[in-house]
Amino acid sequence: MNLKTITLEWTGDSLVLVDQRKLPHVVEYIECKTYQEVARAIKEMIVRGAPAIGAVAAFGFVLGAKQFSNLKEKSFVEHMKTVKEVLASTRPTAVNLFWALERIYNKMDQIDDVDQLVSVLEKEAIEIANEDIKVNKAIGMYGQTLLKDGDTVLTHCNAGALATVDYGTALGVIRAAVENGKKIRVYVDETRPYLQGSRLTAWELVQLGVETILITDNMAGWVMKQGKVNAVIVGADRIAANGDVANKIGTYSVAVLANKNGVPFYVAAPISTIDIKIKDGTQIPIEERSHEEVTHINGKRIAADGVKVYNPAFDVTEHELISAIITQKGVLRKPYSESIRKLFSLEDQM
């Protein structure tokens, strides 16, 4: 059972990932043969993006099962608990990681035979990945109805094929609009400090033939004030039950600027990104990353020695600033606490 997309390739014995740290200058791949190597790939941002992390973690779980498949049932189960814990500890904010691990771990209760279970887990991981592609295309279908021919979109960070298994969420909306014959151009924030916008989003859009204008993060407000932007579309790493959204640091600033300038601010994300167990954004854990991401670029120091650094990887945008949340089941509108509740009620009935 093999699977190959722009982001990952599952060979049956290993998981091959494009090293997103090297893009756009070098397209290089890293092969993971153990769950520990998958955990490292997630933690060190070889792969990133909430949906992609979830799918990759599922394959990491399968690799763990293959590593311990020679153990007796009881010992196997104990080792798989450790595999789950290690993978879950890699990134705290993106809820898709925990959603995918919980989903595949629940398969452990269904079958006693270890060899058969490994096969079932592999099938489930592939299903998670294939579902993600279908979900992204559905998000794109619903989201593109919010854009008109000739619109200019501003996006922050990377929510394209590289942040998912394939196709993308925020960029999936843009792709779908273009596929439906609409001419769309895009302003791309560079997204300091990791430069996902300039390195990844701009690269993806150029490959797709979409007119792309790269700007620094602090230009977004001025571009909007000049009337150059018709909509902002971003992805999400976790959405609370009230519609508050955690996304890459700088998203909150873009949302405030969009609100000030009367520009619709849309969030595109799969339902798996919505965490109904969390009441609001204040309860979302915010990952803090290495200080070197701020003080260095490509290994070269750009800041004074001895300077203190604060490097949160995400921020939270309050639901009041969000014009709509685009999911694979349709476009959610305010009040989000109600539309999200209805959405999950329908999901429970299916």
Question: Which residue carries 């939270």 as its tokens?
Answer: 316
CB 213 within 8 Å of CB 188? yes
Task: Say if CB 178 and CB 168 are below 8 A apart.
Answer: no
Q: How many CB atoms lie within 10 A of CB 305?
A: 6
Longest dimension (CA), the chain: 66
Catalytic residue among 189, 237, 244, 315: 237
Residue 144 vs residues 9, 181, 295: alpha-carbon distances, Å? 28, 11, 38
Query: What gap in Å lies between CA 21 and CA 249, rounded to an integer?
Result: 18
Distance CA 213, CA 231 (A): 15
Q: What is the DSSP string of 145-210?
A: TT--TT-EEEE-S--SGGGSSSS-SHHHHHHHHHHTT---EEEEE--TTTTHIIIIIHHHHHHHT-
Taking CA atoms, 134 is separated from 110, 159, 204, 290, 320, in Å, by 26, 15, 19, 34, 29
- For residues 7 and 164, the answer to whether their CB atoms sit within 8 Å is yes
Rounded to whole angstroms, how far apart are CA atoms 255 and 179? 27
Q: Identify whether 237 is a catalytic site residue.
A: yes
Residues with active-site annotation: 237
